[in-house]
Structure 1
Amino acid sequence: MTCRICGAVLPEGAMFCGDCGSSTTATPESRRRPDPRPGDTRIMDEPVHRNSGVISIPVDGVRPTSPITTVDAAVAEARRSVHASPRFVLTFSTGETRTVFGTGLIGRKPLPQPGESFDQLVQIADRTRSVSKTHLEFGEHEGMLWIVDRFSGNGTIVRRPDDGALRCEPGRRYLVPRGSRVELAEQSFTVE
C-alpha cells in the first residue's frame, strides 16, 4: 500500500502516512485548496506609510511622476543591464547563509504558482514545520530588498535595526533595509 499524495510505502492497515501526514483516503484532488488570495487586486495610487518606517509599495513598483518616453525607457533599460542586481546575504537562524539577488521564494519547500517564475528558491530546514512551504516572496527595488508574505500560516514580522516590529500584511510588499531581521514563525533571518 502506498500514499496517494507522496508515494511513501505504508504498512498494511495504516490510516495516515508517516511521511506527509495525509489520510490514506486522501487524493491529490481532495488536497487542493482554493486560492486564498483576495480577488481585489487594485493598485494603490500612493505608497502606504506606517509609523514603523517600513514602506509598503504597490505591486508594480513606484510610479514615475511624469510620463516615461521611449528614449527614457531605453536609457533606463540600458542602465539596468549595465548594473547587476544587488546581492543580499541572508543569515538564517538555522545557521545557513544564502546570497540572493533578483526575485525568489523562501519556505520549507517553496514552489511557484503556475505561470510564475523566480530567479531563486530558498529552502529552510524547519523540523517544527512552523514555516509555510512557500512562506514569502522577495525581490529588489532601488537597491533594497523587499518581501511579501504569501499568506503563510504563521505570518511574517520585520524588525528594523532602528525601529519596532511590524507584522506584514499578506500580499503586500515591504522594504527591508540591511541589518533588519525577518521572523518566519519560529525561524528568522537577518539581511546583510
Structure 2
Amino acid sequence: MLKDDYLENLDRLLTSLPYNERRDIMYDYEEHFKEELKEGTSEEDVITALGSPEKIALQYVAAIVPVVSQSNQNTEASHIDKPKPTQTRIQGNSIGEIVALSIVALILNSIFIGFYIAAWGILIGFTVAGIGLVFGGFALLISSLIATPVAFLSAPVILYQYPILLFAISIILICIGGLMLIIMYFLIRFTCIYTYKYVKWLIKLIRGF
C-alpha cells in the first residue's frame, strides 16, 4: 500500500465523522507525508510508522464521546485525545509560486499538446478503420453467401466467381477489424485514465497540496 491508497482508505474509514473534522484530519496526514518524504523517508516507512488506516480511524471515532450540554441537555460530540501526526502545518503555495507553477505548466502543456492531439487523431483514425473493416467484411460475407456483388463494394468481379475465397477474405477482414477495435478500446481507455490523473496531479501541484 502506498501513500494515495493509504489516504483514500483512511478518508473512507472516517466518513462517520463530520466533514470539517475529517477534512482537518486528512490535511494533517497529507502534510505529514509531505514532510517525511522531503526528509527522504520512503512511503512504506511512513505508513509503517503511522500504523494501519483502520487503527487510526478507530482512534478518532472512539475519541468522540457524548457530552450532556448544561443549557439544553442535548448530546453533543466532544473530541478528546485525538492522535495527530507531529508536523507543522504549512499553508499552500504562495501567490507567486502558484503563478510560476501555472506558467511552467502552461509551457509544458503547450509543448506536448500537439503530440497529445496527434495521438488522439491516430487513435480515432484506427478506430474508424477498424469499424470500416468490420462492416466491409460483413458486406463481403453477405456477398459470398448470396454470390452477388454488394452495390457499395468495389471488390474485383472475379472474386464473386469464387465464393469460398470471398468468404475467407471477409472473415479475415472482420477479424482484423475486430482486433483493431479491441486494441483501440484499451488504448483509448488507457489514455483517458492517465489524462485524468495528469490533470488531477497538475491541479494539486498548482494548489500546493
Query: Structure 1-normalised TM-score?
Result: 0.21
Answer 1 or 2: which has greater helix percent.
2
Q: Which has the higher strand share?
A: 1
